[in-house]
Amino acid sequence: MKQKGLLWIIFLIGIGSTTACSMMNKTKSEAERHYSDQTMPSTSSSTSVKEKEELYNELSRNANLPKLVEHSTQFEQDISFVAKMEGDPKQVESKDDTLDGQWYGSIFLMRNRNTPIYLNLSSIKKENWPKSGDILRIKGTPIGYLYTSYKNERVDMLDIKAKKLEIISYDNKDVTKSDTIETDQYKVEITETDILRDVFDEPTLVIYYNFKNKKDITSIPPLRTYFFFRQNGEYLKSTILGELDKLNPKALNRDTLEPNGEMLYYEIFKLPNEEIPVNLEVYDDEYHLLNTLEIAVTAKK
């Protein structure tokens, strides 16, 4: 990848105008937005479970470490994946002719909800651009990365050139409601809850669950990736537990698990209200809602 030099870019996650550099290869191609599954097959149907897992594993690594994208098998290759658009597209103003006037939007993988990928929309007709909140099936090419300086820190962002886009929606009318969630990759059973105090002496929700690793490789529990806990419509935030001595000593927290292993784990969250239940939503990599559950907030007896 060749360095293109300094540019002024409207930073796409809403932090204003900032000095940035780009590292990328540019290709020119016609691209259109498609609405039919026949024009762009879903990764769910066109690839095996293992292939899809490998696709999102590598794409997630590239999003987290975009400077290494040129060493990825996805670099300059067409890939098809699902992500969510956040915010409105922004146009780059740059002295670099390859970047000046280009339009970018921020997209997020389900397993990387805090790490934006920058999607170049310049080859997509403007009337077909996605809106904030749209779930997209994207055919695109990782072409490099952008980097910028924000608050004296460098921020790297994976750059993907969009070729085809499809806005997708799911029918969530018949979603399972269960304390046991099972996929081809894992099985999780919510067993009990507890209310303890964190290091700030604030109420903390402890969720205990059994995790079975159904992969053929060592894995971490999926709660940090695909499980979302809400109360009053707000996502619960993690915290630092203060009463460690009151935890079940058999429960693990961040440990990996061998293939076919099954162990008791726990997760902790700040609890804004001790009187109302918490709602769980479970997704997969392509934003399918797999399970919902209302969890009563109760302390262990």
* Average pLDDT rounded to a whole number, residues 177-206: 96
3-state secondary structure the chain: CEEEEEEEEEECCCCEEEEEEEEECCCCCCCEECCCCCCCCCHHHHCCHHHHHHHHHHHHHHHHCHHHHHHCCCCCCCEEEEEEEEEEEEECECCCCCCCCCEEEEEECHHHCCCCEEEECCCCCHHHCCCCCCEEEEEEEEEEEEEEEECCEEEEEEEEEEEEEEEECCCCCCCEECCEEECCCEEEEEEEEEEEEECCCCEEEEEEEEEEECCCCCECCHHHCCEEEEECCEECCCCCECCHHHCCCCCECCCCECCCCEEEEEEEEECCCCCCCEEEEEECCCCCEEEEEEECCCCCC
* Average pLDDT rounded to a whole number, residues 259-281: 97
Least confident of 2-11, 196-205, 224-233, 281-290: 2-11
Q: How would CATH label the architecture of 2-168?
A: Beta Barrel (2.40)
Note the pLDDT of residue 24.
45
Note the pLDDT of residue 150.
66
| pLDDT tens, residue by residue, 26-58 | 333 333 444 433 344 444 444 588 899 999 999
* Average pLDDT rounded to a whole number, residues 4-15: 38
pLDDT of 68 over the 50 cut: yes
| pLDDT tens, residue by residue, 74-110 | 999 999 999 999 999 999 887 778 888 899 999 999 9
Determine if the pTM surpasses 0.95. no
pLDDT of 17 over the 90 cut: no
pLDDT-derived band at 301, boundaries 50, 70, 90: low
Per-residue burial over 214-231, b = 16 or more CB atoms within 10 Å of its CB, e = otherwise:
ebeeebebbbebbbebeb
Note the pLDDT of residue 18.
32
What ranges do the domains of the chain cover? 2-168, 176-295
Quick one: tokens of 95? 């002295």
pLDDT-derived band at 248, boundaries 50, 70, 90: very high
- CATH no. of 176-295: 2.60.40.1240
| pLDDT tens, residue by residue, 209-246 | 999 999 999 999 999 899 999 999 999 999 999 999 99
User: For residue 137, what are the β-bridge partners?
Assistant: 82, 166
**Distance (Å, whole) CA 205 – CA 181:** 20
| pLDDT tens, residue by residue, 129-179 | 999 999 999 999 999 998 876 677 888 999 999 999 999 999 888 899 999
